[in-house]
Amino acid sequence: MAAPLHPIVYWAQKAETITLRVDLKDVKDPEIQLTKKSLTFKGVGIGAAGLNSYQFTLEFLKEVDPEGSAYRITDREVNFVLMKVGASVQWPKLTLPENKEPWLKIDFDKWTVEDDSEDDELRRKAEFEKDQLKQIEKQLTECEAEAYADFKKMYLCLYNFIQFIGFSYIFIYLLVNFVIKGQGMKQAYSGVIFPLSLCQCLSILEIIHPLVGLVKTGAVAPLIQVTGRNVVLFAVIRNEARIESEPIVCYLFLVWSSIELVRYPFYMLTSIGQESVVISWLRYTLWIPLYPAGLLSEILTLWTAIPFYEVTQRFCIKLPNVLNISFDMVTYLYIHIAAILIAAPTMMSHMWRQRQKRFGSKKKIH
């Protein structure tokens, strides 16, 4: 529910009276309730927020005389003259100490001070303005933080949704055409290579997200996973046309997309602060068969590519040359396979610890 709008109210005092000036234009038939200790005002007029309904309540520091008080409505404002009760002395402030309203200001044009109270009033004015600035800064900071949080939720939800749609298309296409209908390798490869390449390019953002603070996870794990996949896809598969005819490539794409069918919905719900028990369970369980299948498929794909790169010598740099460096693609493929075999136990152990942390048995406290 939206907070009520408050008009700007200026106040001043003389020895026997309090004057209020409500900064509202064209007010018609306002509701006004005045007691000894408070004033309530409701009315429709033109104020800081345009033509709207405005209201305020003031709880006075001391008592006023409702019978001796009066108000007057003009086209430009509403004026109150409130009679003080008791001795004719200056009030140190208009309202109770705990009430500090940012819309209540001092009307210095009508202020009458006695003795040496002018310095005190100027000091109060400076403190009041300082408090106002602090409140404005606080409100701006809160608004910026809220806007950033909303943007982050919207962006992360949209990113994960787009990736989910992309990998869903890849999985369904391969399952129907390659697995069920037995479509040829080249046709199946041609049907998914563009959307898969697009999704893998977008996945580079998953390395950037933790670096810029959009997610709280580290950047090392996505760096390893995204870089490893993209090297296999763009450097190995897409640069050797004969690999397109190898069935292991489509099986690799099928396993990759199977993993993402659960991972991206899980992250999409997490980004908006929601959780599905089923999706969470699948996220921390399906990796048990799929990760080994994915790693094995990557190894077999790289192993299949080795004879082709031995013949073509693509990407090989031999000495001597201007840069005085050498690179052998076949040697790199062997190193990549070895790296997968070495890293696999660590990756699987990490995923298993994550699952135990999420779904492990709880011990009772005796």
Tens digit of pLDDT for each residue in 270-296? 988 888 999 999 999 999 999 999 999
Q: What positions carry a catalytic annotation?
A: 291, 298
Q: Which of 113, 132, 164 is the last residue of a domain?
A: 113
Among 123-127, 197-201, 322-326, name the most confident range. Answer: 197-201
Question: If you search the block for the tokens 């090989």, which residue do you land on?
Answer: 316
Buried b (16+ CB within 10 A) or exposed e, 155-194: ebbebbeebbebbbbbbebbeebbeeeebebeebbebbbe
pLDDT higher than 60, residue 116: no
Find the range with the poorest average confidence among 122-136, 282-296, 332-346: 122-136
Give the pLDDT score at 273.
86
Does 364 fall in a domain? Answer: no
What count of other Cβ atoms lies within 10 Å of the Cβ of residue 313? 12
Query: CB neighbours of 90 closer than 8 A, spacing ≥ 6?
Result: 13, 15, 113, 114, 117
Which pairs from 21-29 meet CB under 8 Å and 24+ separation? 21/77, 21/78, 21/79, 21/80, 21/107, 21/110, 22/77, 22/78, 22/79, 22/80, 23/47, 23/48, 23/77, 24/54, 24/77, 24/78, 25/75, 25/76, 25/77, 26/75, 27/73, 27/78
Alpha carbon distance 10, 266 (integer Å): 55
Residues 84 and 187 grouped into a single domain: no
Domain housing 324: 142-359
Asked if the peptide bond before residue 7 counts as cis, ω within 30 degrees of 0, the response is: no
- The pTM assigned to this predicted structure is 0.61
Residues 62 and 171 grouped into a single domain: no
Residues 66 and 24 grouped into a single domain: yes
Does 137 fall in a domain? Answer: no
pLDDT higher than 50, residue 175: yes
Residues 107 and 253 grouped into a single domain: no
Alpha carbon distance 265, 267 (integer Å): 5
Residues 17 and 151 grouped into a single domain: no
Q: How many domains does one find in the chain?
A: 2
Does 366 fall in a domain? Answer: no
